[in-house]
Structure 1
Amino acid sequence: MGRFPDSRFDKAADGGRDNPRATGAVRLSDVAAAAGVAAMTVSRALNQPELVSERTRERVQRAVIETGYVPNRVAGALASSRSKMVAVLVPTVAHSLFADVVQSITDTLAVEGYQVLLGLTGYQTEEEAAVVETVLSRRPDALVVAGTRHSEATRQRLGAARIPVVEIWDMSDDPLDMLIGFSHHAVGEAVADHLLGCGYQRFGQAMADDPRSHQRAEGFNARILAEQKARPDAGIKVTTHWAEIPATLVGGRTTAANVLAGMPDCEAIFCSSDTLAMGVIAEAQSRAMAIPEALAVMGFGDMSFAAATWPALSTVRIDGAEIGRLTAAHLLQRFGAGSPDPAHDIVDVGFEIVARQTTLSPRS
């Protein structure tokens, strides 16, 4: 591509004083000078291209490339009251569960010209509060946050921001605004029902020490307690041990060892993630325990490796991509001046028990 004749940038390829690259950020006026048009014309070509001729758009685009100009989105947001940016806060992207959600949100919003600002909260309410404060200073058009358990300061800050907020990956009777997820308590209950239906009676839980894992453990324990009361002579027992976060294979092995030390006759272990479940399987195999005959293992998440391992891992499937798609769709609807609808803006996507080879078949 040829350079612009008589351009100020031709003078200064060597970093001279007339080269804005040598003296600081390239400004809109620099692009205008290079293109030979007014600064207002450059602004229109970049922000409302339908208002200028094709020839002018091409000149401006060549000048943008020539100068290395990057539009100031913050200034644009102040002028238009829209930043075209959505903040998405999740605990981690180290495994596919949250990564799938973030990717789906990003892909769906990108079609409408929105970008995602990602923040990692590390399962800590204090860290979440700090990240919320930081991202709100960037003036996002909306904020997506994993979970519904926030500090009071975070709840107040998000309420005062007066932007759409979507809580994901959870259910609550008191959402901040929109809510798209599933009940972790119900997951725990469903897993307990499944394992009881397989004939198991002595249970362990290997759970990461985070709020949503606690909810799944509570649901599991509640269902087991109900079964103990219904069948007091059946010998039904449960023990729960907690793993450090983030979940790792080593953490799974360590937690499995703790479960088996406290309950040597344990028949089935429910894990808060597929990663922990693989560690539990490794620990069982190191003890020559046959899976699932001597010990059944149930994961959570249905990560990409779950079906490919041997034996294939029984788990709970969550459609993270659908959570992301629905989240973005609800935001785009709200951006289009859609009014809040409490009935419409709370969506339970549910979950699916996936029975594979690490648990016995349910009894008829």
Structure 2
Amino acid sequence: MSSGKEPANGTSGTVRRRTSTRSVTLRDVAAHAGVSSQTVSRVLRIPDEVAPHTRARVEEAIRECGYVPNLAARNLASNRSKIVATVIPSLSASVFSETLTGLSDVLAPEGYQLLLGYTDYDDEREEALIRSLVGRRPDGIVMTGAVHRETIVAMLRTARIPVVETWDWTDTPLDVLVGFSNERAMYEMVCQLHGAGYRRPCFVGSLPAGDHRARRRLAGFRRAAAEHWPGREPRVVDASGHPLTLESGARLLDVARGAHPEADVLVFSTDIFANGALLAAARRGLRVPEDIAVTGFGDFELSRMLHPGLTTVALPNATIGREAATLLLRRMRGERPTTRTIDLGFEIRRRGSA
């Protein structure tokens, strides 16, 4: 009859499971693998310095025991959290998910995890979010945009955490910046529309106080309009009361055509609105671009699949993430950047909508 006791060396294959009062420890894993605790620790910290057959046995024991290292204790000892905080304005836009993928592709192999927060284009919410994230002492922060409240700037400078700003442009970044000029991108779009023969453009975009990038796109539209049609008041439809959805794009098509029936091209600040307008135009029997032309900003996947395809500003979404992560790794290692700004540019993609 069995006594019910586990062998001290753990060789029977019995695994000590987590109970309500006790978690599996490194010592449990060592006993299960038949090695020392120091060997298990080396496998976790410097696996390349452990013989392959021993490493495989320890890794199998870790899986069987369900052991999870106490990263908080380890990070406290090393004064490193291995966390990079990431601040984006919206969870609904695919362009930001591509940037997050680029970040993860570079940071994950180095042992870093992303801690994600979003602002919903609200400056007050951004300040509260940054305060909360800084309190968790991440090793680095990646932010969307280059315009922030003075309280946020002071907070980040006091914390002395490496910061990479993205998706915008400034000659005086908080720390380092990887992005492009929203103002110049929209200016180039309108200039190309003028060259294609359009004479009555109408800007359509959401302009809440916290969406500084949309306001810079409007500034680019206004600069191009003043250059090509001097003395005329630019046509602008503020979509701030509409959520960032395809359905809103459909409604804004009607709003813009009602407010400016003479407009020959609707210049949307985002592909989300523009794609919604394109789909609605087809349902309403409008010919695009003959009856009304449409352009966007972002080059989302759907923009390439619609008929006609959407003319838009294409951005290096994933490259922004990879370059920002590479630069942030150097900053987190204490290296001085050779440059504080990296301009990845943009491309005007001409398709059938304009």
Aligned pairs (5 A) from 1:117-128: 117-128=115-126
2:154 equivalent to 1:156:
yes
Amino acid at match of 1:134: S
Distance 1:7 1:124, change over 3 A: farther
**Structure-1 residue corresponding to 2:341:** 346
Q: TM-score, structure 2 length as denominator?
A: 0.88
2:274 equivalent to 1:273:
no
**Structure-2 residue corresponding to 1:144:** 142
Alpha-carbon offset, residue 306 of structure 1? 1.3
Deviations 1:58-82 (A, max 9, x none): 4432332232111121211111222
Alpha-carbon offset, residue 250 of structure 1? 1.6
User: CA contact under 8 A between 1:20 and 1:30: conserved in structure 2?
Assistant: no
Amino acid at match of 1:87: A
The CA distance in 2 between the partners of 1:308 and 1:275, in whole Å, is: 13
Alpha-carbon offset, residue 317 of structure 1? 0.4
**Structure-1 residue corresponding to 2:300:** 303
**Structure-2 residue corresponding to 1:251:** 248
Q: Secondary structure of the residue that 1:301 maps to in structure 2?
A: coil
Q: How many residues align?
A: 346
**Structure-1 residue corresponding to 2:285:** 288
**Structure-2 residue corresponding to 1:215:** 216
Alpha-carbon offset, residue 40 of structure 1? 3.8
Alpha-carbon offset, residue 315 of structure 1? 0.6
Amino acid at match of 1:357: G
Alpha-carbon offset, residue 130 of structure 1? 2.5
Alpha-carbon offset, residue 246 of structure 1? 4.4
2:132 equivalent to 1:134:
yes
The CA distance in 1 between the partners of 2:236 and 2:129, in whole Å, is: 35
2:351 equivalent to 1:356:
yes
**Structure-2 residue corresponding to 1:224:** 225
**Structure-2 residue corresponding to 1:79:** 77
Deviations 1:80-120 (A, max 9, x none): 22232222211223222111100011012223332222222
Alpha-carbon offset, residue 247 of structure 1? 1.5
Q: Secondary structure of the residue that 2:110 maps to in structure 1?
A: coil
Q: Secondary structure of the residue that 1:300 maps to in structure 2?
A: coil
Q: Secondary structure of the residue that 2:201 maps to in structure 1?
A: strand
Alpha-carbon offset, residue 183 of structure 1? 0.7
Deviates more, 1:332-341 or 1:308-317: 332-341
User: CA contact under 8 A between 1:257 and 1:283: conserved in structure 2?
Assistant: no
Deviations 1:209-248 (A, max 9, x none): 322111101110122123232xx5xx78523322446421
2:123 equivalent to 1:93:
no
The CA distance in 1 between the partners of 2:62 and 2:290, in whole Å, is: 67
Q: Secondary structure of the residue that 2:19 maps to in structure 1?
A: helix
User: CA contact under 8 A between 2:17 and 2:65: conserved in structure 1?
Assistant: no
User: CA contact under 8 A between 2:271 and 2:298: conserved in structure 1?
Assistant: yes
2:67 equivalent to 1:66:
no
User: CA contact under 8 A between 1:244 and 1:251: conserved in structure 2?
Assistant: no
Alpha-carbon offset, residue 296 of structure 1? 0.8
User: CA contact under 8 A between 1:11 and 1:19: conserved in structure 2?
Assistant: no
User: CA contact under 8 A between 1:221 and 1:238: conserved in structure 2?
Assistant: no
User: CA contact under 8 A between 1:84 and 1:115: conserved in structure 2?
Assistant: yes
Runs of 5+ unmatched residues, structure 2: 1-5
User: CA contact under 8 A between 2:104 and 2:114: conserved in structure 1?
Assistant: yes
Q: Secondary structure of the residue that 1:111 maps to in structure 2?
A: helix
Deviations 1:111-140 (A, max 9, x none): 333222222222222222222233333332
Runs of 5+ unmatched residues, structure 1: 360-364
User: CA contact under 8 A between 2:239 and 2:252: conserved in structure 1?
Assistant: yes
User: CA contact under 8 A between 1:253 and 1:282: conserved in structure 2?
Assistant: yes
Q: TM-score, structure 1 length as denominator?
A: 0.86
The CA distance in 2 between the partners of 1:269 and 1:215, in whole Å, is: 17
Percent of residue pairs bearing the same amino acid type: 38
**Structure-2 residue corresponding to 1:238:** 235
**Structure-1 residue corresponding to 2:315:** 318
The CA distance in 1 between the partners of 2:315 and 2:349, in whole Å, is: 10
Deviations 1:294-330 (A, max 9, x none): 2110011111121211111111100111111111111
Deviations 1:165-195 (A, max 9, x none): 1000000132110101111111121111111
User: CA contact under 8 A between 2:83 and 2:138: conserved in structure 1?
Assistant: yes
User: CA contact under 8 A between 2:11 and 2:34: conserved in structure 1?
Assistant: no
Amino acid at match of 1:330: L
Distance 1:100 1:331, change over 3 A: same
The CA distance in 1 between the partners of 2:236 and 2:56, in whole Å, is: 69
Greater relative CO, 1 or 2 (CA 8 Å, sep 6+): 2
Deviates more, 1:35-44 or 1:286-295: 35-44
**Structure-1 residue corresponding to 2:102:** 104
Amino acid at match of 2:226: L
